[in-house]
């Protein structure tokens, strides 16, 4: 009996530790917006907050902004997106960019120290998820893809139904044999930025770097222990057999350039 009680106590303690690790109060944050107003993170308790660290010079940051605009429009009663600029940035350029993109959420001026308060990673973009109680729930490295939004953000929203956000169609057809995919690497990052593969079916991924500047000179897929040189205008073929489901991000040697393999 003593052993049973002791075991139950251990399980209870472990549960508390796990809960504390997965949810903790977000750091206080008070910054100026690009319009000169004061932004306080605590003012948004009651809503799920997405703190999106981005820069005008970051191609994947620019790539995900249309989706962030859609999320803000579709879930405005439950969700608040906040754009946090990452240096070096010119304030007038940020204002012009925001007007051109018709960004419908506040943009605040951040620093390197601002991001370090949430994460030490050097990746861009970064999206920090804060729940309705002001607790830090997750940090997403790279682009926040629609299925990640559904899994990590929509589950935190209230039960009030909101319009569905239109998804981009990757246009990838299934094949009965080897799954072949072509990925072009240019100044904007990966085209396409996400590919779908079937579990258990061999895949042949062909990477071609078209730009001398911008992305790096390697293909890195950590989950599959792939680290290959990526010369300019030279096809690099990577062959893998995805044996487990999930999302596996890849980079070409620079943290801000991210792609994803989605295995189902």
For 23-156, the fitting CATH number among 3.40.50.1820, 3.40.50.740, 3.40.30.10, 3.30.1860.10 is 3.40.30.10
Pair 114, 84: CB distance under 8 Å:
yes
Q: How far apart are CA 53 and CA 108, in angstroms?
A: 10
Nearest to 246 by CA among 147, 161, 140, 134: 147
190-215 pLDDT, tens per residue? 778 888 999 999 998 888 887 777 66
53 contacts 78 by C-beta, under 8 angstroms: no
Residue 170 pLDDT class (50, 70, 90 cuts): very low
pLDDT over threshold 60, residue 168: no
Q: Is 67 left (phi over 0), alpha (psi -120 to 50) or beta?
A: alpha
Across 36-45, 160-169, 254-263, least confident range: 160-169
Return the number of other C-beta atoms located less than 10 Å from residue 1's C-beta.
5
- The C-alpha angle with vertex 139 and arms to 161 and 224, in degrees rounded to 5, equals 110
What is the per-residue pLDDT across 121-143, written as a single tens digit (0 to 9) for each? 888 999 999 999 999 999 999 89
**Residues listed for the chain:** 264
Q: Which residues make up the CATH 2.60.40.420 domain(s) of the chain? A: 179-263
241/224 Cα distance (integer angstroms): 9
Report the distance separating Cα 51 and Cα 164, nearest Å: 21
Q: What is the pLDDT of residue 246?
A: 86
Domain 179-263 class in CATH: mainly beta
Specify the pTM.
0.61
Residue with tokens 């299925």: 147
Token output for 32: 């100026």
Q: What are the start and end residues of each CATH 3.40.30.10 domain in the chain?
A: 23-156
pLDDT exceeds 60 at position 119: yes
Q: What is the pLDDT of residue 248?
A: 84
């Amino acid at each position: 009996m003593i052993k049973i009680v002791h075991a139950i106590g251990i399980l209870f303690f472990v549960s508390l530790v796990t809960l504390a690790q997965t949810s903790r109060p977000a750091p206080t944050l008070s910054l100026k917006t690009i319009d000169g107003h004061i932004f306080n993170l605590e003012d948004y308790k009651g809503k799920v907050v997405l703190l999106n660290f981005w820069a005008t010079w970051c191609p994947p940051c620019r790539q995900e902004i249309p989706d962030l605009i859609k999320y803000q429009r579709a879930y405005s009663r439950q969700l608040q997106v906040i754009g946090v600029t990452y240096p070096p940035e010119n304030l007038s350029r940020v204002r012009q960019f925001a007007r051109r993109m018709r960004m419908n959420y506040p943009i605040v001026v951040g620093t390197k120290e601002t991001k370090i308060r949430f994460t030490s990673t050097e990746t861009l973009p970064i999206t920090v998820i804060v729940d309705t109680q002001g607790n830090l729930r997750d940090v997403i490295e790279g682009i926040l893809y629609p299925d990640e939004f559904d899994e990590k953000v929509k589950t935190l929203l209230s039960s009030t139904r909101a319009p569905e956000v239109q998804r981009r169609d990757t246009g990838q057809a299934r094949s009965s044999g080897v799954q072949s995919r072509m990925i072009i690497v240019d100044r904007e990052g990966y085209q396409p930025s996400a590919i779908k593969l079937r579990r258990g079916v061999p895949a042949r991924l062909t990477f071609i770097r078209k730009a001398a500047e911008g992305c790096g000179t390697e293909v890195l897929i950590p989950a599959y222990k792939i680290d290959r040189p990526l010369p300019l205008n030279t096809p690099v073929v990577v062959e893998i057999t995805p044996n487990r489901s999930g999302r596996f991000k890849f980079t070409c040697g620079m943290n801000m350039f991210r792609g994803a393999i989605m295995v189902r």
